[in-house]
């Protein structure tokens, strides 16, 4: 196999291998543009074909999940675990239950996760898994039976030193409880084979809040680097799930005005900015009514816009926290026109290629999820450490560990992404993570 020294050759090579996997191609192209020049300058990386090898998941496990619904009918779903890379620790990454889940989506998420996990500095490799099952509209019993059936197969492939799943879209505390319960029954083992557990049975303080809080800690560092602060800034947040709500809450606590939340049905705009009380109420009640944002709007009398995204608002900062490719080129141009200066991803790859290009060309600070949303998996790493030592750290200790890890990731991005008059956070994150993975790959031989 000839060494690939330029981006076009790399794109041709990977496209011919996975022509249908558009999300996976998108994620690999994004990292390739920054790391191919790094490989070209390093004889070892070239000799050991480090980047191409990193673009192949080490293992993909596919299984079917058959289960009985409340009408005693059999339903069959698809299940996967993509164990992307175990170079620096046990495979680690969330599980997503959503009808849009397929192999391409999970491969992109697992690939990104390997780079993100490397940035945390913790000993965790990268993985992602999930199913095309949709828990929305299902009874508790149906969700329980599905989780049990899913775990009956997944349990063969995970363990505290092998692969440690956690939550992601539609996999929260309830699903983690059912998944963990089944794992424990089959294996007769307590322990860190799953993170995001409730605090009563091996969970860690701050794991639930960590992705959103970590994003705001990173934002504070970005703003400080730019000579400003979060106080009084107008922020558009998308999504209304775990990441979006904890992001909105922490940003509000830090003095910002969060003027939007959204879901796949529309956006709730609130010019005055949500209060801490509003946000805590949504956190406590989400998942109960069909559309929690409509219920919130009854209380606050904001403006609900069906089928709209938040990106038409005049804001200083945009924090996309819902899902991949939710912010596209035309949204980016509108945000820039309306004065937005900072974009930090809370979700994984929410900004498509055209949006990222628009931000970079206009020198808008753009931080990719692998850096800015790494707080969640970092806290999961700390949950694993607590489980391994039967220790339970305090809320304060975990919160300050989170701040320290986010500050360290920020520093790595600045070091590798400093372009004189501009910090290219995307490039910095890609290169810093790549060096850690590449050095481990070279050291471990072929």
Ligand X SMILES: O=C(O)CCC(=O)C(=O)O
* Site of interaction with ligand NAI (CB under 6 A): 167-170, 211, 238-244, 262-264, 321-323, 326, 346-348, 373, 376
Residue 92 binds what, of ligand X, ligand NAI, none (CB under 5 to 8 Å, by partner type)? ligand X
Q: Which residues contact 144 (CB under 8 A, 6 or more apart)?
A: 178
Contact 319, 236 (CB under 8 A): yes
If the CB atoms of residues 64 and 264 are measured against ligand NAI, the closer one turns out to be: 264
Q: Which does 192 bind (CB under 5 to 8 A by kind): ligand X, ligand NAI, none?
A: none
Residues that bind ligand X (CB under 6 A): 92-94, 113, 116, 166, 168, 195, 348, 376-377, 380
Rounded to whole angstroms, how far apart are CA atoms 193 and 387? Answer: 9
Binds 239: which of ligand NAI, ligand X, none (CB < 5-8 Å by kind): ligand NAI
Is residue 257 within 8 Å of residue 220, measured between CB atoms?
no
Task: Decide whether 42 or 134 has the Cβ nearer to ligand NAI.
Answer: 134
Q: Where are the beta strands (DSSP E) in 98-189?
A: 126-131, 163-166
Tell me the closest approach of the beta carbon of residue 380 to ligand X, in angstroms. 3
- Residue 100 beta carbon to ligand NAI: minimum distance, rounded to whole angstroms: 8
Burial track 103-115 (b if 16+ CB lie within 10 A, e otherwise): bbbbbbbbbbbbb
- Active-site annotation, residues: 128
- Tokens 């299984």 belong to which residue? 63
Closer CB to ligand NAI, 4 or 204, in the complex: 204
Shortest distance, CB of residue 27 to ligand NAI, whole angstroms? Answer: 13
Minimum distance between the CB of residue 109 and ligand X, rounded to whole angstroms? Answer: 7
> What does 131 bind: ligand NAI, ligand X, none (CB cut-off 5 to 8 Å by kind)?
none
Q: Which residue is nearest to ligand NAI (CB)?
A: 241
What is the bridge-based pairing of β-strands 234-237 and 317-319? Answer: parallel
Shortest distance (Å) from residue 201 CB to ligand X: 17
C-alpha closest to that of 189 among 164, 171, 170, 206: 164
| DSSP per-residue string spanning 248-296 | HHHHHHTT-EEEEEEETTEEEE-TT---HHHHHHHHHHTTSSS-HHHHH
CA angle 14, 18, 19 (to 5 degrees): 100
Q: Specify the residue, 116 or 246, whose C-beta has the smaller distance to ligand X.
A: 116
Taking CB within 5 to 8 Å according to partner kind, which of ligand X, ligand NAI, none is near residue 332? none
Residue 323's binding partner, choosing from ligand NAI, ligand X, none, with beta-carbon cut-off 5 to 8 A by kind?
ligand NAI
Residue 128 CB, shortest distance to ligand NAI, in Å, is: 8
Q: What, of ligand X, ligand NAI, none, does residue 169 touch, CB below 5 to 8 Å by kind?
A: ligand NAI
Burial track 410-437 (b if 16+ CB lie within 10 A, e otherwise): bebbbebbeeeeebbbbbbbbbbbbbbb
Measuring CA to CA, which residue among 435, 379, 442 is closest to residue 412?
435
Which tokens hold the place of 210?
């960590």
What residue is closest to ligand X based on CB? 94
Phi first, then psi: what are they for 342, rounded to 5°? -135, 130
Place of tokens 């922490």: 250
User: Whole-number minimum distance, CB 116 to ligand X, in Å?
Assistant: 6
Note whether 24 and 107 are within 8 A (CB).
Answer: yes
CB of 348 to ligand X, least distance (A): 5
195's contact among ligand NAI, ligand X, none, with CB below 5 to 8 A by partner kind, is ligand X
Q: What is the DSSP string of 297-358?
A: HHHH--EEEET--GGGS--SEEE--S-TT-B-HHHHHHHHHTT--EEE-SSSS-B-HHHHHH
- Contact (CB, 8 A) for 374 and 432: no
> What crossing angle do the helices spanning 375-388 and 103-120 adopt, rounded to 10°?
70
């Amino acid at each position: 196999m000839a060494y690939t020294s330029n981006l076009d050759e790399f794109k041709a090579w990977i496209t011919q291998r996975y022509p249908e996997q558009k999300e996976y191609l998108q994620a690999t192209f994004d990292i390739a543009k920054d790391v191919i020049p790094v490989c070209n300058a390093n004889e070892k990386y070239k000799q050991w074909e480090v980047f191409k090898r990193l673009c192949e998941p080490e293992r993909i496990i596919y299984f079917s999940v058959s289960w009985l619904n409340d009408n005693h009918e059999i339903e069959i779903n698809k299940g996967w675990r993509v164990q992307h890379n175990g170079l620096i620790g046990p495979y680690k990454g969330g599980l997503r239950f959503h009808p849009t889940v397929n192999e391409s989506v999970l491969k992109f998420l697992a690939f990104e996760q390997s780079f993100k996990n490397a940035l945390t500095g913790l000993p965790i490799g990268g993985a992602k898994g999930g199913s095309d099952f949709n828990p929305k509209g299902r009874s508790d019993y149906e969700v329980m039976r599905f989780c049990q059936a899913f775990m009956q197969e997944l349990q063969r492939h995970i363990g505290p030193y092998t692969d440690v799943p956690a939550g992601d879209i539609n996999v929260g505390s309830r699903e983690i409880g059912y998944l963990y319960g089944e794992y424990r029954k089959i294996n007769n083992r307590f322990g860190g084979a799953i993170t995001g557990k409730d605090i009563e049975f091996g969970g860690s303080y701050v794991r639930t809040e960590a992705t959103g809080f970590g994003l705001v800690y990173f934002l504070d560092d970005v703003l400080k680097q730019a000579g400003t602060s979060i106080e009084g800034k107008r922020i558009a947040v998308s999504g209304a799930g775990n990441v979006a709500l904890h992001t909105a809450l922490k940003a509000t606590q830090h003095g910002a005005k969060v003027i939007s939340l959204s879901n796949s049905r529309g956006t709730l705009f609130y010019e005055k900015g949500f209060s801490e009380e509003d946000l805590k109420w949504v956190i406590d009640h989400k998942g109960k009514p069909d559309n929690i944002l409509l219920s919130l709007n009854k209380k606050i009398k904001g403006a609900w816009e069906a089928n709209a995204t938040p990106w038409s608002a005049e804001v200083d900062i945009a924090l996309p926290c819902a899902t991949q490719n939710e912010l596209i080129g035309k949204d980016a141009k509108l945000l820039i026109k309306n004065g937005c200066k900072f974009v930090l991803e809370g979700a994984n790859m929410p900004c498509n290629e055209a949006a990222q290009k628009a931000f970079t060309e206009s020198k808008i600070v753009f931080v990719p999820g692998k850096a800015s949303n790494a707080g969640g998996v970092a806290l999961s790493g700390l949950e694993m450490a607590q489980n391994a030592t039967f220790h339970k750290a305090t809320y304060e200790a975990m919160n300050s560990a989170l701040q320290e890890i986010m500050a360290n990731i920020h520093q790595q991005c600045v070091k590798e992404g400093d372009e004189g008059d501009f910090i290219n956070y995307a490039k910095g994150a890609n290169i810093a993570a790549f060096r850690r993975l590449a050095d481990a790959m070279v050291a471990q031989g072929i």
